Amino acid sequence: MEINKIKLALGIAASMTIAMPMVAMAAADHEAAMKDQNNWADPRHDYTNQGYSGLTQIKKDNVKNLKAAWTFATGVNRGHEGSPLVIGNMMYVHTAFPNNVYALDLNDNQKIVWAYFPKQDPSVQAVLCCDNVNRGLGFGDGKILLQQNDGVLVALDAKTGAKVWDVKVNDPKVGATNTNAPQVRKDLILTGCSGAEFGVRCHISAYNLKDGSLAWRAYSMGPDSEVLIGADFNKDNPQYNALSVYEDVNGGNKQGGSFKRIPDDKLEIGQSDLGVKTWLKPQAVKDGWQHGGGSVWGWWPYDPRTNLVYYGTGNPSVWNPDVRPGDNKWSMTTWARDLDTGMAKWAMQMTPHDEWDYDGINEEILFDKGGKTYVWHHDRNGFAYTWNAHTGTLIAAQKVHSFVNWATDVDMKTGVPSKLASASTHQDYNAKGVCPAALGTKDQQPAAYSPRTGLVYTPLNHVCMTYEPVESKYVAGQPWVGATLTMFPGPDGVMGGFGAYDPMTNKAKWYNKEKFSAWGGALTTASDLVFYGTLDRWFKALDANTGKELWKFQVGSGVIGNAFTYGHAGKQYVGVLSGIGGWAGVAMNLGLTTPTDALGAAGGYAELTKYNAAPGGGALTVFSL
């Protein structure tokens, strides 16, 4: 045992020689900017990822008087996700591919101070899974950070727009791209990887803010030395490190087979290299974990008190589960890592052996209650999770809506869901009526939390599907999905909703239906308002306590961007990017009409053409009293 520990330690040390020189120091301008409530200086406002602002000028009794203050057309079509940054009198706006950046002077009628136009190979667009989106910018050390779709991370001088440095993070030639917002945490920049639908083994990586050098990289699966897992990983919950959490029923990975949860006291725990050992033979490709997916592209909170950063990993490759038996760790997982070294403190896999593309990639939100810090996560699998942020102990796991029908519940000790055989998917078998659809009960659109109400506010998809895995050969740089889907409204008869939940129980306080998926990210404010946008072009304000709609305005295109707010010259503004796209809108943007096109979105969201011109035109709309 001691020899194995030494070997493990040596392996980690060898893989981290670039990560260890010094403890990172904070980017002072970024931290100062986040403390000023007039700013929106981080993709989700601040380290907590709450999407919450302390501004109160816009209130319940005057929100009905909101009027459009100004607009800015980005000059780019297709889906516009994320939100601008606001630091002082400057606003920084990003676009979909080719990821142009504009610096606007709020003191001078939003005059363009500088613009940056990346020179990206147009062929990159063919390797982007679910539209040409980019989720925003980072700020720190006097730099604006842009993670281009082609894998290049760029640092621009915030005053002039001049390029300071750039570095290649991912290679589109093998299907690895980027859609995430780069996020500054102390003097490191966190960025990730898209490409699970191309058989890429993805990662989260930290680069030094000063010069763009790599600090550390943690892969989503593989040996512990490459996933950055050490001897004290999951020490408070060793049961999360089980070799297998399911036993096969009727053959498991074949038609008619399914999986039964192994009792907690029968789990085999304490083994290393689970990111290899849980990818069993036969695999669709040799050593399937090497092409295992596990994309990382969400928004990632950070707790300076413990130095832990949190994030989720996406689906395993390929979507056909029969050719990758086993739990397929560490896809579909929520992680806590030490920011300085990248070493994992704890992780829990939410959907072991995923059969439905239920990415675990959605954002985590940090909040404090009763002297403790918690992590909340609305997973695409239809469950909302709350953990003790420091230990990873599971506090609550609950379905966000009763229509979720692939599992009955989640074991509170192990986090393992109890799967239903009726929802299992197998090669050349068309599983019908599976809820939710592959885009989950929530996709990229981030939820928000209010420390005033103690509730989380989350956009929802209310969509079910048919799902048929098929044989698919891996070819580097080519799509590798291995499934055919159709999507349709869930039993509520609509395709979306927006709800408020108690994160200590994850039970709903209120729930509003939406005609389409609510694909816009949420904003909460200290005046107990909630803002979000919809695919049929509405931007809405609700009473955070009751869910009552107080105001709405129809913008030029469907909203998949995140609501944000800022203060300038004594006045509060609230805004949102419009420009329909993402998974829900990509088929409409491309004129695809066969129901299975765009992995089922073409059929499920066909009616969007009655509300949107295609392709969606990118624009920023800003409102004030």
Helical H segments across 100-244, by residue range: 224-227
- Catalytic annotation on 357? yes
Q: Which of 77, 215, 78, 99 is nearest to 156 (CA)?
A: 99
Asked if 133 and 122 touch (Cβ cutoff 8 Å), the reply is no
Peptide bond into 238 cis (omega under 30): no
Task: Give, as one character, the DSSP assignment of residue 246.
Answer: E
Q: Give dist(CA 79, CA 582) in Å, integer.
A: 6
Q: Give dist(CA 411, CA 397) in Å, integer.
A: 8
Q: Which of 589, 496, 578 is nearest to 539 (CA)?
A: 578
Helical H segments across 396-548, by residue range: none
357, 359, 379, 536: which one is catalytic? Answer: 357
Greatest distance between any 2 Cα atoms in the chain: 70
What b-and-e string marks burial along 32-52, b requiring 16 or more CB atoms within 10 Å of the CB?
A: ebbeebbbbbbbbbbbbbbbb
Cα–Cα distances (Å) from 142 to 33, 86, 182, 184, in that order, read 11, 13, 15, 12
Q: Which residues pair with 242 in a beta bridge?
A: 269
Q: Which of 474, 467, 324, 481 is nearest to 406 (CA)?
A: 467
Q: Give dist(CA 332, CA 61) in Å, integer.
A: 43
Cα–Cα distances (Å) from 252 to 280, 385, 561, in that order, read 13, 27, 40
Asked if 533 and 577 touch (Cβ cutoff 8 Å), the reply is no
Catalytic residues: 357
